[in-house]
Structure 1
């Protein structure tokens, strides 16, 4: 399989989970699937397939990090694709946490959809945005059907 195919595959393996969390966030099946941290395994499998043959190249860079070492490492398409698959897996793991936490707090799915998309594209922006949104919501009481309300709002 070509490096380009592995690169694409890492995203395509994660995309169905993102689609469920964004397009069907209230579906029981989505909650059950996203409830498992194992959803990141397909992207991590791509990472491992590419990483293991290059382990001797990766180890010095991760054990004694340097900018020059990282630049040299990512000049290899295989190494860069392995890192890409790791990023895809990490973003999915982070998105999974955001999804589960937002559902528990009762944050409306229409508010969460753009946050989730931003997390897919640029998790360093999506994550702090969610943390800011999260401040406005208190934890759900755990009672079935209970809905969290933004802090400071009262029911009339």
Structure 2
């Protein structure tokens, strides 16, 4: 069951990633990307995996150190729960990057590869995206950080 849930975590997120990367101009893509509810199915998988390792999980977050975390991830359900959590947060980061890219008018040929990188290594993708966002935002505004659109 753990293996199936582990695989399900990514399969539940994949359609959102595919929409943002392959159909960025479709009106439904922006609607889907704007919803934080896209991560709920992945978080339900997280809960399913985490339920059997609650004591170890609680110890890892209550007394965070490398050995405690290593002990949690040595358990199949512990590693699976952490994986589902990473998938959910990566998806939220990707959705934010997608929406910011649209707001800034970045071309999908720029955004697409950044989102692929976010699927694989979201911290690296975010480190690439943030200065790009700042540069494009300041160029569009004249000087200073990008401002959110007015309602």
Q: Same fold (TM over 0.5)?
A: yes
Whichever of the two has the greater Rg, that structure is 1
* Match of residue 56 from structure 2: 57
Question: How far has the Cα of 1:53 moved from its partner?
Answer: 2.4
Deviation for aligned residue 1:110: 0.4
Question: Which structure has greater helix proportion?
Answer: 2
Question: Aligned pair 1:12/2:11, yes or no?
Answer: yes
Q: Does 1:21 align with 2:24?
A: no
Distance in 2, Cα, partners of 1:114 & 1:23: 10
SS in 2 for 1:122: helix
What does residue range 16-95 of structure 1 map to in structure 2 within 5 Å? 16-95=15-94
Contact 2:52–2:77 (8 Å) recurs in 1: no
User: Which whole-Å deviations, capped at 9, do the CAs of 1:17-76 have from their partners, x for residues lacking one?
Assistant: 000001111111001111111001111110011112211111011011011111111111
What does residue 114 of structure 2 align with? 115
In 2, the alpha carbon distance for the partners of 1:46 and 1:151 equals 45
Paired with 2:142 and 2:12, the residues of 1 have a C-alpha distance of 37
Count of residues in correspondence between the two structures: 143
For residue 149 of structure 1, report the CA deviation from its aligned partner: 5.4
Alignment RMSD, CA only?
1.8
